[in-house]
Amino acid sequence: MSVLLMLAALLVVLSIAAWPSIEEYGLKFLVTTDWRPNELNVPMKGADGRVLIEDGEVVMETIPPSFGALPVIYGTAVSSLLALLIAVPLSFGAALFLVRLCPRRLVGSISFLVEFLAAIPSIAYGMWGLFVLGPAMRNYIEPGLRAALSWIPGVNAWLFENTARRGSTVITSEVPLTGSDMFTGGVVLAIMILPIITAISRDVLRSVPRAQIEGTLALGATWWQSSWEMLRYSRSALFGAVMLGLARASGETMAITMVIGNNNQINPSLFAPAQTMSSLLANEFAEASTEIHRAALCEVALILLVMSLLFNVVARWLVVGKGSRTAAAF
């Protein structure tokens, strides 16, 4: 009960703090890409589109700060999905190994190591990503991927080229491979959520009735077919494990801040710097000097909190609630 009260209080506090931004931008906050905390002085243009000049001087106008959360929502969604694409197959494979193949005397030790990985602080993952994985990505892995994939039609333009239009001229340039980008962020997140999904999936697969496994083998199924039936039998709970991993990936702050490049943009290339909601909060909250800037950051925090709550509620319903009912139904 006290946890629910604290959660409700947190929602109320964030909503009140974010209200100036909600009132100013409304739903437009979710779909615009402009994030400019400071005022901007630009030449004023007339109705004909020309710059106004009075007494021989250019007339200037002041554009107020503007905030839109679409780039950080995009960065959070893409980095989290990339982490799931990498972590989910490895986690399910590791869970199947622990449940069906691993010698009994080794199960405890390997399970301890998996759970130990989940307990490592995120700052440690971030420093490893910054000093070890980032240089390896920049010098070896990303150039190797470019050499291996750029011959595929469309992939080079998608992943390794930037395109900009200046007037009627289209300018194309190579994406610099820096090792601080969306791809590195997704890999670090995948390593962080892998032990969580593995540990829950292992417990879920252990709960599959032995009669279910022996029944498939008795009907002539191979080991792979029997394992596939185990995954199908517990698919709801496994999906819940994936949702818990997604909640961890979307809310991760320090590790992703250190490796993603922190550029507030929407770039289709996975090798371009990006920004997530949590990294934006970590980078700017201490330096926000105006009320509307702080309110915009609080609105981003409110969106992140609601999204994480949604993921956790769905995951718990699938793992504990619907999962048990599905198992009972079988």
Give the Cα separation of 299 and 28 in Å (integer). Answer: 12
Give the Cα separation of 238 and 205 in Å (integer). Answer: 9
Token pair for 72: 């950080």
Token pair for 231: 């995954």
Give the Cα separation of 10 and 101 in Å (integer). Answer: 45
The helix (run of H) or strand (run of E) holding residue 57 is strand 57-58
Predicted confidence (pLDDT) at residue 323 exceeds the cutoff of 60: no
Q: Calculate mean pLDDT across residues 186-210.
A: 92
Q: Calculate mean pLDDT across residues 258-284.
A: 92
User: 163: which strand partners?
Assistant: 172
- Encode pLDDT of 83-127 as tens digits: 999 999 999 999 999 999 999 889 889 988 888 888 888 899 999
Please report, rounded to a whole number, the percentage of residues in the chain having pLDDT higher than 90: 45
Give the Cα separation of 74 and 277 in Å (integer). Answer: 9
Q: Report pLDDT for 330.
A: 39
What is the band of 327 on the pLDDT scale with cuts at 50, 70, 90? very low
- Encode pLDDT of 306-318 as tens digits: 988 888 787 777 6
Give the Cα separation of 74 and 274 in Å (integer). Answer: 9
* pTM to 2 decimal places: 0.87
Q: Report pLDDT for 279.
A: 92
